[in-house]
Amino acid sequence: MFDTLLAGQPKRQAPLRILVADDQPLNIRILHEVFRNEFEVLMTTDSKQVVTICREQNPDLVLLDVVMPGLNGHQVCRQLRALPETRDIPVIFVTAKNTPEDEVLGLESGAVDFITKPINPATVMARVKTHLALKLQNDLLRSIALVDGLTGVANRRRFDEQFLTAWRRCQREQLELSLLLIDLDHFKLYNDHYGHPAGDRCLTRVAGILNETIRRPDDLLARYGGEEFICLLPNTAFEGAQGRAWAMLHAVQDQGLEHAHSPASAVVTISIGAVTMIPQAGDSPETLLNAADKQLYDAKQSGRNQVRGIELPSLP
């Protein structure tokens, strides 16, 4: 099952990655020996490092010792489940404590399985492969559920998830967060003149053009609804966001897609509302969305085929 699933995956950039956390270096060495030929193995003896490593290195599975100084395995597991960016990483407890009470406690804290010490290498490998296969299957289903069926770019749900994660990160680290709200100009007239199927093809072309202007791994272009797209630019200052917006506007215009009945231009064009802010504790993500909407409205009012932008002051 594992190899079949792996073969069906979109090509991964890196090998599957496992994090082994145990305060005893000897135990880590034993597990490293079991996995090192098949997976990339991350290791730590410090339970307090597990959440940070998961956030930064996004392992596909965690093997977690239960009894550790500082935070115990159950506490770590609960922390992982509470964070959006780590909650889908499966955790297997590796423990000498295997009474029914221990197992209930472990399952309640969110572990998917238990492996009893002293470990049997063949059993550990089989269990880990089973859970990795399930994780890959979940990742695949999630990725399908998060793509817009018409244009192939991210859908609204994916945007909502990623926006919230970016918002929290920028709030925590006091970074600039920018949003571009993008709308095709006079698209009703396009549909009326060329027909709905041609309108669909036009939307798909524009989505592709916009997506090609995205540069950084954390940037995201999504279809926000109808003929509206949205672009998330975390850790991006106002000038950078404006630059991206104008690059998108020119890229669409330069394609020269005929729009004979548009009062704005002879070709398909877009209008963009751009906003930037450093989120503070009292701010809400809607502030940024509403501001982008207002800027987009201004761009439309000013004749379309325009970028309008604003840098929001933070709350005192």
Ligand X SMILES: Nc1nc2c(ncn2[C@@H]2O[C@H](COP(=O)(O)OP(=O)(O)OP(=O)(O)O)[C@@H](O)[C@H]2O)c(=O)[nH]1
Kindly state the smallest distance separating residue 232's Cβ from ligand X, in Å.
21
227 near ligand X (CB under 6 A): yes
Which residue intervals of the chain are DSSP H helices? 2-8, 25-35, 50-57, 73-82, 100-108, 121-145, 156-173, 187-194, 196-212, 238-255, 285-301
CB 195 within 8 A of CB 147: no
Task: Report the alpha-carbon distance of residue 63 to residue 132 in Å, rounded.
Answer: 12
Using CB under 6 A as the binding rule, whether residue 203 contacts ligand X is answered as: yes
- Which own/partner contact pairs does 127-134 have at CB distance under 8 Å and 24+ positions apart? 127/92, 128/18, 128/35, 128/61, 128/63, 128/92, 129/2, 130/1, 130/2, 131/61, 131/90, 131/92, 132/2, 132/16, 132/60, 132/61, 132/90, 133/1, 133/2, 133/5, 133/6, 134/90
From residue 234, how far is each of 92, 167, 169, 220 by CA, in Å? 33, 8, 9, 9
- 121 binds ligand X per the rule CB under 6 A: no
273 binds ligand X (CB under 6 A): no
Question: Quick one: tokens of 158?
Answer: 């994916």
Is residue 263 part of the contact set for ligand X (CB under 6 A)? no
- Is 244 a binding residue for ligand X by CB under 6 A? The answer is no
Contact between 186 and ligand X per CB under 6 A:
yes
Binding of residue 304 to ligand X (CB under 6 A): yes
In the complex with ligand X, the residue whose CB is nearer, 78 or 196, is 196
- 200 vs 254, beta carbon nearer ligand X: 200
Task: Considering the complex, state which of residue 194 and residue 238 has its C-beta at the smaller distance from ligand X.
Answer: 194
Contact with ligand X (CB under 6 A) among 45, 191, 204, 253: 191
Rule CB under 6 A: choose which of 33, 108, 173, 200 binds ligand X: 200
State which of residues 36, 196, 216, 250 lies at the interface with ligand X (CB under 6 A). 196
Q: Binding marks (x or -) toward ligand X, 127..156, rule CB under 6 A? A: -----------------------x------
103 in catalytic set: no
Among candidate residues 235, 97, 103, the one with its CA nearest the CA of residue 178: 235
Per rule CB under 6 A, is residue 183 in the interface with ligand X? yes
Does residue 261 bind ligand X (CB under 6 A)?
no
**Smallest distance from the beta carbon of 265 to ligand X, in angstroms?**
11
Catalytic residue among 56, 108, 176, 227, which?
Answer: 227
Nearer to ligand X, 5 or 257 (CB): 257
Site membership for ligand X, residue 259 (CB under 6 A): no
Nearest residue relative to ligand X (C-beta): 199
- Using CB under 6 A as the binding rule, whether residue 216 contacts ligand X is answered as no
**Using rule CB under 6 A, residue 199 touches ligand X:** yes
For residues 222-253, b (16+ Cβ closer than 10 Å) or e, as one string? bbbeebbbbbbbbbbebebbbebbbebbeebb
Strand partners, 180: 231, 274
The residues of the shown chain that bind ligand X, judged by CB under 6 A, are: 150, 183-189, 191, 196, 199-200, 203, 226-227, 300, 304
Catalytic residue positions, numbered: 227
